[in-house]
Structures are given as C-alpha cells and as structure tokens.
Amino acid sequence: MNPSGQQQFRLPGRGSRIGAKSVRFTFDNKPYEALEGDTLASALLANGVHLMGRSFKYHRPRGVLAAGVEEPNALMQISRDNARTTPNVRASVQEVYDGLQAQSQNRFPTLNFDIGGVNNLLSPFFAAGFYYKTFKWPAAAWDKIYEPFIRRAAGLGQAPTEDDPDRYSNRFAHCDVLIIGGGAAGLMAAKLAAKKKQTIIICDENPHFGGWLLSDTDIRIDGKAGPDWAADTITELAAMNNVRLLNRTTGIGYFQQNMVVLNQRITEHQSKPESGDARERMWQVRAGKVIIAQGAIERHMVFPDNDRPGIMQASAAQSFLNKFGVAVGSQVAVYTACDTAYAAAFDLAEEGIDIPIIVEHRTDIADDLLAQASELGIRVITGAVVEGTGGKLRINSVTFAKQNGNDRETIEVDALITSAGWTPSLHLYSQSRGKPQWDEDTQRFLPGESPQECVSIGACNGTDDLSDIFAEAAKCTGSRAPRHAIEDDVSTMSGFIGATGTSADKGKAFVDFQNDVTAKDIALAVREGMHSIEHVKRYTTNGMATDQGKLSNMHGLAIASKLLKKPIPAVGLTTFRAPYTPTTFGSFVGHSRGRLFDPIRQTPIHDWAVENGAEFEPVSQWRRAWYFPRSGEDMHQAVDRECQTVRSVAGVFDASTLGKIEVVGPDAAAFMNIIYTNGWDKLKPGRAKYGIMCREDGFIYDDGVVGKLSNNRFHVTTTTGGAPRVLNHMEDFLQTEFPDMRVWLTSTSEQWATIAVQGPKARQIIEPLITGVTISNEKFPHMSVVECNVCGVPARLFRISFTGELGFEINVPADYGRAVWEAVWERAEPLGACVYGTEAMHVMRAEKGYIIVGQDTDGTVTPYDAGLSWAIAKAKPDFVGKRGLQRPDLMAQGRRQLVGLATKDPSKVLEEGAQIVADPTCPVPMKMIGFVTSSYWSGTLGKSVALALIEDGTNLIGKSLYAPMADEVIEVEVTGTVFYDTKGERLHG
C-alpha cells in the first residue's frame, strides 16, 4: 500500500471485477483515479475516501455502509451534463467510467463542513413524531413558516432542469422460466432449466453474474473458485439460444399472473454511450414460472455512534476486497453476531490488514472459527458489545466491553465492520402476494407458498448451504440433484440475532441510516402508543427512505417486539412494494414521451387547416381547427368574423371528428328505442333525428343526430370525445341486457370525413357537386339524410344544423376528405363564405341554446334539467334511464335547470364556471344557486350570451341574479336558452 499516492488502499493482484485500465473521475470536483470495473464506492475507498454523504435529518457525516443496492448513506448526484444529472444514485451501484462526475448531497457548503450539522446538536428536539407535534400550533404559522421550512428541508439531491435527451425503451417478453438473481442458486437453476429446452430469461442487478460467489473467493465448486465457476456457467448459458441473459437488470416488481417487470440499465456505466442505444429498458415479462433467487442482505449492528464513516457491513468489506481489491482500512475491528463476518475478517487478515479485535455478541462460537482466528493472530472477545465509537469525519476508535459492562476497553481503529445476520429478500415473493412465514428456529421471515407460479430458492429462501442451494435449484426445475464437491472456509451461518444490545438505549444507535431513525426513536414511538409496526414505521419514518428499510425493517421490528413483549410475527411486518430499488421516471415512461406521450389524432382535412393558418385546440385526443385568423386578427376578431359570415353568407367546417356508429340489423330500431330516450318507430328511412342518451341513473350521457338509412341501418353520430364510451355503452347493453336483439354495432368514425356547410348560401355552394339527388328545401328538408355522390365519390349527405342556419353535412370516405373539402371551398370562397373553427361553432350553437354534453352537462343533469323533455318518449315502455328518471330526487322541484343569462351590461362576458347567487349582499360564505356553463361574446347579437345551470332556473326567468367575481359583482337576467332566431326559421331556408 502506498498511503500518499492515488489509490493507496488498492491491493495489487486482488479483485476479480476490475481491469488494469485506469479511469478518471471527480468527486465534489476533486479528480481521482480508479480502475475499470470499480463502483464509485470502491473507487473512493481505494483512494481512502470514506466520507461520502450527510444524513438527511441530522446532517451527520456518513460513509458507505454496503457494497450493493441496500446502501443507505452514499447517495450521489451523478452527472454527464446539465440534462443528464441523476440524484440519489447509490455509490455502491454506480460503476465508474472515465469522466464521471459525482457530487455529494445534503451538505452546505462542503461535505467536510456542513452548516446543517447543527441539526445534530439540536437533535433532542427532532425526535420521532417531532413534525406531528411541533407544527400543530399556531395554525396560522403553517402557510408562512412551517410548510416553506419543511419544503426546503425535504428532498435529496437536485432534479435536472433540462429535458432528458436520452431514449428509453420497453420490451414485452414471454418465457417459460424467469429467474431473478444470477448468484449460485439462479445460475444453477438456469443451467438445469436450459437443458430442458425451456425458454429462459435470467437477470441480475449487478454488472456481473455470480452473486456472492464473486465476493467470497474461498468457495470451491468442483475445485473451481466461485468466480470461475460463475464465468464458465455464463459462457455455457450464453451459447444457448433459448436463454436470454440480462445483467445490470433489476427485478423491480412482481404483478398479477406472473407479470414481472425488470429494469435494465444500458448506458449508465459507459463513458461515451453509443448514440442510438436506449439508456434504460423496461422489460415486462410474462413468465410461465418465476424462480426468485434474490439472495439475502446483511444487517448492520445497532450500537451508539454506529454511523461514522469507516463503519460498514462485514460483507461489504469482503466484497470490496475480493471484487475490487480494496482494503477498507488498515486497522479493522469486527463487531458481529454472525459467523460470516469471520470470513471477511480472515480474508482481510490474510492480506496483512490488522484485525485488532473481533467483538462477538454471542457467547457460543464454533471452535473451528476460534481456531482459525487464533491462527491468524486475531483476538476474539465473546458475549461482548460495542459501546461506542470515536472520530469526527471517520471512525478513529471503538469502545467495547462484556455485555455486563465489565472489561471496558477502547482501541484505535480506522474501520469497523459489523454483521447482525442476514435478512432473506422477500420483496418479490411478497409482491407476488405470498405471505412471509416466521421461522422461529432461525428467527427470520421466510417465503411460504405463493399464490402464483413461483418458487424462491437460495439465500432468499433461507437456504444458506451451497449444496442445499443446488439441490433446491434442481428440485424447482424438475431435474435430478447435481453432484458437486463444495468447499468453503466458513460455511455455517447464524440466523437473526436481536442485535439491539443493552447499549442501544444510550446515544444515537442508528436503525435506519437514511432517515436518521435511532433505537431510541423506536422506543419512543412504542411508549407513545404505536403498537403496530405500521404505526411505528410512520411515526418514526423507519424504513420509509429510498432504500425502503432493506437494512432497518427487521431491526425496527425486533426492537419494537422486545419493548412490547410480543413475538415478532405478532408485531407484524410492513408491506413490500414495487419498485424493489429506485427506478428512474425515464424507464417507466419508456417510449411514451414527446409525440408518443399520447396519440394525437388528426382529420383528413387537418393539413389543409394547417396550410391555411388555423389555430388548433385539443378535443380529447383530436386536434381540431379552433379558428382561422386572417392577418392582423386576434382570436376575438376572427371568431366574430367567422360567426357573422356563416350567418350572413355561409361557412365550411371540418366535423370529421364526430363519433359515428353504424347500428345495423333487423332489431336496429328496437335497440335505438332502448338506448335513446326518444322514440324511433316513426322515423322513416331518409330522415334524421336528434337523440339523447341517458345512463341508467337518468343523467345525460351523450347526444347526437341519427340518420336512418334503411329499415335495418342507422348512422349514429356522437360527440367527438364521447365516441369510444358511447360504443362501449351500447355494446354493454347489447351483450348483457339485450343479447337476443339482432343488432350489430360498428365504429365508422374514421371511415368518413365530415364537411359541414352552414349558412344561407350552403345549398348554393354544394348543389353543383352533388349527383344523384335533388337537395331542394322541399325534396330534402331539414333533418334528412341521403346516400348520393359528391365529387364523384359515394357519400352520405345530411341536412342538419348545429348553427341554426340552413346546413348540410357531407360524409365521404376519409381518403377523399381533403379533395372534397377543397372542391367545396373552391365553390364557397368566391361566394364570400368562410372556413370556421370550433370556437365559432361553439358561439353559434350557444346563440341557439344547443347544449354540448360535458360542457353544459356534468353527469348530474337530466334531459328535463337541460330543457329537453321534448326528447323523452314518455309512452315508451322502457329505455335506459327511464327508471332512473323516476327517482324522487330527479323529479323534485328546484333542481338546477339550464337557462340563459343576459348580463345587465351587455358588453360583460361572464366567466365559464362563475358561481351565481341570488343575493350578493348576504354574508360569506353565501349560498350559490348555480354556475355558468357556457359564455361567449356574440358579435352577431352585439352582446354576451351565456348558459347556466340554476336552481329552479325556469321559474326565475326574468329575474335578476348575480355573479360575484374577484373585483366586481355582475348582474344578470335569467332568460330562455335561445338567443338568436327564437322561432327557428332560418333552419328551413
């Protein structure tokens, strides 16, 4: 070792995962060297850097605790550039690449000197439940002081401020067997299942398959070292075309019917990602069978000041040594309640690192362990506890004693490794809706039977011995147990030990590092009445950080169980939720960003509207032409002009987005009678009718004009946004309530492009384009439909109006939409007509009091409320909504009814949504008797027009009401809903 130079803690010749090539990276802007294959944590440790972060609440200095995904402390901001910066990346997971920039988090101004550290001194005030207790009073302080304060303190790291330039992708996959975890258990299962010709996906969250075999180099399988056996197995699997190997891929969630979601990180480790590669890929895998081989996670020991940099899991120290050739210190003490820590200690000692003491919590230790320790000159004190540690930014001493307090001793160290046993990872098993079972013998939760086709093997199933693990892999794949000679220096493994110790009542003994929860906090929560682990968790925030309690949950549970004097299973276990590890939004979003966020639907005439300067508005997924401003016009002027041109000459409008449903069959009319409130028996082929559709509860669901093409065939139109749900509603009733009716429904919304021509000159415009029919007022009156040819293509022509003017709607097959539109426009323009958009359409229909479902109705409006009682065929024996409409509350007097509002000052345009009151002088909160649903400036009438739902509205016609706004109260008069051409004569022009 070379303590003065770079990478002074790198041991030459050690580390199976690192290459010879150096890479350079920066941490808090300081340059460092690392070796290819390093994680950020191993690279910093190689350089003697243990201080990697500050804790969330107390801002205590923290080092790396783990070598895997469970790391709670060393969370970093990793950046390539301003747009590619990711907060809260675990240094133990991030692979170092040339040029990587890492910043520590939650400190100001620097990691070494952090002003927030004052919180540590104030910590008596920040005990569990602090927030609940403190911010209750005075109530007024919440907005001004508490919430801003908490918001400032909340969150870790910086979210990027620029758009993410990278691509993320998704893949749906199916396989016979999905294996999650590529350690000894998973690899063996894959090897055996692959021989059975099954399709297999095996994933592992690490860059390399092998799991613990890569960290414990003393294991021999058939004489081969663990890493070599793993490498050979991978080579074998990679050559088989029924096996897909996914490294750097985490099983993040287990859902219904064996749907497991995997998150693959593709470029996070690359210095210069290849352009075109997705940064991450989400795999949504539907597996015949799932084999969970997630492994286990080592718990830390809980004792005062157990969070100083330099204190870490024994398994982490072993991994750093054997995978990366990094020594975690030069004088490394051990505190353990589990045999596996000895393996770590022995490996370090064999490299010449001083192991001054093993503080053993248990009293009975296997002789062979003690013998090996003594052979390596390591002192072991049994039945002992660590009472505290010293040091500021790094541990420099450890104080330990016998459990009764005798033989207290303090020695100098620069690292302390601990083990309180291993927690089997039940996350995915639990997400499969399997119930964890408490195993009294080994004091841990183990998987039981999952209701889904899945099995847990290996360490996550509580199986510690490698021979047993291989036998499990054989059993779950239906293979004969393979025979392998397995050797190891330390093979036994102890179960869970209540590692709270007597000393945990003093000082800060951390249970949850990331959320700064101590053993005392858990005790306080129990004292204050939190007796369920779910309550303890929420009161203390134990297990609620981004690591989701991978280290802390079992400790919290054990401490609470001890204080409550209840067995652990009686205290309960908190729920495991997806994702298993933090997953980026990009990965969840996948392809669905930008243009692919949601389909944007355009009509066949859309491009013409673009070319002619239309402004567009979104209507459900559609983009509709909103208005067509001429140069110098604002929206208001354009809409005024469009309305007035339609009313005085004519206008052409793209109505293609209207929903269209073809209702066909011998029972079509009977079906229409059921679905609509109107009667359809008398309608003759060639005629059309406005129909209202209710839900069973009697409220308006949709409306539209329906044309009868023949005795068997109706052409139904729906609102633009309502098309899919109306078809579903119809299918629902047809299939479940009226399966005997011989009727078929087909969506034809997109078969037809629909061109509305409205206005006094509408007939003059279209007449020459039409062949096969006469469209005079006598031969083709208002509310007619005919099949004919328009511009030489087969068309369905309607005589209908949504403006109150003489109007036609031409439906032609969509491919011809644009050409026919252009032909119509070629006729219309010279006559002085205009094209108009949805805004003018809205104004004109409001002038006529025509409702828009969803704007003038809100799902609580009946046809009676909307003034459409004429559209209800009361004599019909039944229709959907008939019984609903007979409910007393729907028949009651005083319901909100649709009326018109005329502002006293005609130039004032009400705000849509404005509340209406009867008496604006009564005290606040005053009674609101209704609200404005539609409101426009009518250029045609030279005044504002509005529709509103008002309690008992029809009886208030002629009365004054008020709309109290922020800066004024607007007086309105209640009117009828028709403002223009009240007799409706223009329709028949």
Partner 1 sequence: MANANVATPNNPTSGNRFANSSVTIEAAAPAARISFRATPKGAKDFGKTLGIDLPTKPGLSASNSSLSALWIGPDEWLIIDTKNSINSLMPRRENANFCATDVSHRNVAFIISGDGAENTLCASCPRDLSPAAFPVGTASRTIFGKAEVVLLRIGKTSFRLECWRSFSPYVWDLLIDGAQDAHI
Residues that bind partner 1 (CB under 8 A): 167, 169-174, 199, 276, 278, 281, 284, 286, 591-592, 595-596, 598-604, 622, 662, 664-666, 710, 712-713, 742, 744, 746-752, 791-793, 812-820, 823
Residue 746 CA to residue 786 CA, distance in Å, equals 20
**Which residue lies nearer to partner 1 by CB, 622 or 798?**
622
- Shortest distance, position 427 Cβ to partner 1, whole Å: 24
- Shortest distance, position 27 Cβ to partner 1, whole Å: 33
Residue 726 CA to residue 703 CA, distance in Å, equals 10
Residue the block writes with tokens 């996906």: 201
Question: Alpha helices, DSSP H only, in 649-722?
Answer: 668-675
Q: Residue 78 in contact with residue 520, Cβ under 8 Å?
A: no
**Which residue lies nearer to partner 1 by CB, 108 or 597?**
597
- Shortest distance, position 819 Cβ to partner 1, whole Å: 3
Q: Minimal CA–CA distance to 707: which of 686, 676, 681, 726? A: 686
Q: Residue 747 in contact with residue 632, Cβ under 8 Å?
A: no
Q: Residue 672 in contact with residue 738, Cβ under 8 Å?
A: no
- Amino acid of residue 602: Q
Phi-psi region of 565 (alpha: psi -120 to 50; beta: other; left: phi over 0): left
**Which residue lies nearer to partner 1 by CB, 171 or 195?**
171
What are the start-end ranges of the E strands in 354-459? 358-360, 380-381, 384-391, 395-402, 409-412, 415-419, 422-424, 437-439, 444-446, 454-456
- Shortest distance, position 278 Cβ to partner 1, whole Å: 6
In degrees, rounded to 5, the angle at the alpha carbon of residue 518 between the alpha carbons of residues 517 and 521 is: 85
- Beta-ladder partners of 495: none
Residue 39 CA to residue 338 CA, distance in Å, equals 26
**Which residue lies nearer to partner 1 by CB, 110 or 710?**
710
Which residues neighbour 360 within 8 Å (Cβ) at sequence distance 6 or greater?
Answer: 336, 337, 380, 381, 382, 383, 384
- Shortest distance, position 813 Cβ to partner 1, whole Å: 4
Question: What are the tokens at 140?
Answer: 């007024």
- Amino acid of residue 196: K
- Shortest distance, position 590 Cβ to partner 1, whole Å: 8
**Which residue lies nearer to partner 1 by CB, 622 or 979?**
622
Residue 171 CA to residue 576 CA, distance in Å, equals 25
**Which residue lies nearer to partner 1 by CB, 52 or 175?**
175
Question: What are the tokens at 160?
Answer: 């990027």
- Shortest distance, position 596 Cβ to partner 1, whole Å: 6
Residue 636 CA to residue 839 CA, distance in Å, equals 10
What are the start-end ranges of the E strands in 841-903? 896-903
**Which residue lies nearer to partner 1 by CB, 164 or 697?**
164
Residue 414 CA to residue 1 CA, distance in Å, equals 15
Task: Let me know if 960 is exposed, middle or buried by CB neighbors in 10 A (0-12, 13-18, 19+).
Answer: exposed
- Shortest distance, position 544 Cβ to partner 1, whole Å: 33
**Which residue lies nearer to partner 1 by CB, 501 or 707?**
707
What is the side-by-side order of every strand in the sheet holding 311-313? 311-313, 415-419, 332-336, 358-360, 380-381
**Which residue lies nearer to partner 1 by CB, 603 or 801?**
603
In degrees, rounded to 5, the angle at the alpha carbon of residue 666 between the alpha carbons of residues 660 and 670 is: 75
**Which residue lies nearer to partner 1 by CB, 254 or 850?**
254
- Shortest distance, position 607 Cβ to partner 1, whole Å: 9
Residue 336 CA to residue 311 CA, distance in Å, equals 12
**Which residue lies nearer to partner 1 by CB, 4 or 241?**
241
- Shortest distance, position 749 Cβ to partner 1, whole Å: 8
| H, E, C per residue of 484-511 | CCEECCCCCCCCCCCCCCHHHHCCCEEE
**16, 392, 629, 851 from 304: Cα distances, Å:** 35, 14, 73, 71
Question: What are the tokens at 107?
Answer: 């400190």
- Shortest distance, position 578 Cβ to partner 1, whole Å: 18
DSSP letter at 36 equals T
**Which residue lies nearer to partner 1 by CB, 281 or 761?**
281
**Which residue lies nearer to partner 1 by CB, 172 or 870?**
172
Question: What are the tokens at 174?
Answer: 């199916």
- Shortest distance, position 258 Cβ to partner 1, whole Å: 12
**165, 194, 468, 621 from 171: Cα distances, Å:** 20, 22, 35, 25
**Which residue lies nearer to partner 1 by CB, 173 or 240?**
173
**Which residue lies nearer to partner 1 by CB, 8 or 748?**
748
- Shortest distance, position 754 Cβ to partner 1, whole Å: 12
SS3 9: coil
**Which residue lies nearer to partner 1 by CB, 276 or 923?**
276
- Shortest distance, position 662 Cβ to partner 1, whole Å: 5
- Shortest distance, position 172 Cβ to partner 1, whole Å: 5
- Shortest distance, position 736 Cβ to partner 1, whole Å: 15
Residue 345 CA to residue 929 CA, distance in Å, equals 78
Residue 473 CA to residue 635 CA, distance in Å, equals 70
Task: Tell me: cis bond preceding 863? Omega within 30 of 0 counts.
Answer: no
Q: Residue 415 in contact with residue 332, Cβ under 8 Å?
A: yes
**Which residue lies nearer to partner 1 by CB, 198 or 515?**
198
SS3 902: strand
Q: Chain centroid to CA 139: how far?
A: 33
- Shortest distance, position 877 Cβ to partner 1, whole Å: 23
**Which residue lies nearer to partner 1 by CB, 341 or 753?**
753
- Shortest distance, position 84 Cβ to partner 1, whole Å: 19
Q: Residue 25 in contact with residue 40, Cβ under 8 Å?
A: yes
